[in-house]
Amino acid sequence: MAVDREVALREVSDIVLPQGGTLGAADLLRAVTLEAGVLRLVIEVADSEAARAIAPVEAEIRRRLEALPGVDRVQIVTTAPAGRPQPAGGAPSLQIGRHPTRQAGPQPIPGVRNIIAIGSGKGGVGKSTLTSNLAVALARAGRRVGLLDADIHGPSQPRMMGVSGRPASPDGQRIEPLRAHGVTIMSIGLMLTEGEAVVWRGPMLMGALQQLLQQVNWGELDVLLIDLPPGTGDVQLSLCQKAAVTGAIIVSTPQDVALLDARRAIDMFNKLKAPVLGLVENMSSYVCPNCGHEAHLFGHGGVAAEARALGLPFLGEIPLQLEVRLAGDSGRPVALGEGEVSDAYGRLAQRLIAQDLA
Ligand SMILES: Nc1ncnc2c1ncn2[C@@H]1O[C@H](COP(=O)(O)OP(=O)(O)OP(=O)(O)O)[C@@H](O)[C@H]1O
């Protein structure tokens, strides 16, 4: 049996904690790695008192893991979040990535009229690009727009919207979002140290997302767009459990394989009872800037056909153009300017406004 993270977690998951319950159920282990015979892990507990109480558990973890083949040494670090103790009632802590606090069902965000999740079945189809450009197009149309980058594994909105720096928190409780191109922005990426590996699993992810939704001073917004990670994972689930999502927009390229994944994403939102507002086809057609010839590199019309087959609205198509990528990389989304692609984002924005979704 090769020892890996999962094997190590399984080996210790039934250890009983001093306060009752098991280590596995309490979800206290973080950053489990095995390298050159050294198994390292972090035990995260609530406070220093809990850290003292967990000492016997630490010894038992060490004993069990050292018995595994290929493990020569076990290094355990027990941490408790720094900072002031939480007052009764659980005032928010700014340590992003904590465990979620109890919440009765999906909550609205005060002052935010609509929450729209932008999802895709597959990575790299242009979901983040669409989100930043749609946000800019809506702001240009006079709407009050927020953009939450919840792509926990690859937050790209700071680069695409040209923002950097850690958001301020004057009272140590609430987070001040950043502003760019008329859009109010917050990204999980702005709260992490550059290059920091995100090792959160389900509950920590849920806690981080809950903080970004509820602790950020979003102000009065017509719409908050949420850039989700690709696929159908914990973030999507947490979002629909924590926030009263108005609906989801699914982005896909026209290829069959992307569409297959898009269908899975649609199924997931249906199961989570978040209405799918419609589908967008990205990288739809390519017009050669030299000769004007139009080509369909990834096919064309597949997403519209899929929307028809599923009885969902088709919201529009965005051409494949080099300037979209260059603009995204430079922090000034293409929708800030004029031209064919900017118009396409503008039409999508108008559609949402007409339906009172933004
Ligand atoms: N219409 C377009 N024309 C040209 N390039 C595009 C277009 N849409 C997206 N791109 C480029 O494709 C790449 C992937 O886009 P993006 O990061 O938005 O995808 P994504 O679906 O959010 O991916 P992931 O979720 O995996 O981060 C980027 O380099 C982006 O600039």
Q: Is the CB of 342 under 6 A from ligand 1?
A: no
DSSP H helices in the chain: 5-12, 23-26, 48-53, 55-66, 127-140, 157-161, 202-214, 234-242, 256-271, 302-310, 322-330, 340-354
Q: Are residues 291 and 142 in the same domain?
A: yes
Residue appearing with tokens 């009050």? 144
Contacts of 89 (CB under 8 A, 6+ apart): none
Res 132 pLDDT > 50? yes
> Higher pLDDT residue, 282 or 27?
282
Over the chain, what is the mean pLDDT? 85
- Contact between 317 and 281 (Cβ < 8 Å): yes
* Cβ within 8 Å of residue 173, ≥6 positions away: 91, 92, 94, 215
Q: Which amino acid is at 275?
A: P
pLDDT tens figures, 163-184: 988 888 888 788 999 999 999 9
Tokens matching residue 81? 């979040």
Residue 53 is predicted with a pLDDT of: 84
* Phi, psi angle pair for 317, to nearest 5°: -130, 145
CATH number of the domain to which 182 belongs: 3.40.50.300
Binding site residues for ATP, as ranges? Answer: 121-128
Mutation choice for ligand 1 from 125, 129, 160, CB with most ligand atoms inside 8 A:
129
Residues 124 and 58 in one domain: no
Nearest CA to ligand 1 atom 14: 124
62 and 17, same domain (yes or no): yes
Report the distance separating Cα 314 and Cα 307, nearest Å: 6
127 lines ligand 1 (CB under 6 A): yes
User: The tokens of 345 are what?
Assistant: 């984002």
Dihedral sign computed on CA atoms, order 196, 202, 204, 210: positive
* CA-125 nearest atom, ligand 1: 21
The Å distance, Cα 14 to ligand 1 centre, comes to 43
CATH of residue 70? 3.30.300.130
What spacing in Å lies between the alpha carbon of 20 and ligand 1's midpoint? 47
Residue 326 has pLDDT above 90, yes or no: yes
C-beta 211 within 6 A of ligand 1: no
Please state the domain count of the chain: 2
Q: Which residue range is the domain that position 188 belongs to?
A: 115-354
Q: Does pTM top 0.80 for this prediction? A: no
Rounded distance from Cα 126 to ligand 1 centre (Å): 3
pLDDT reported for residue 128: 96
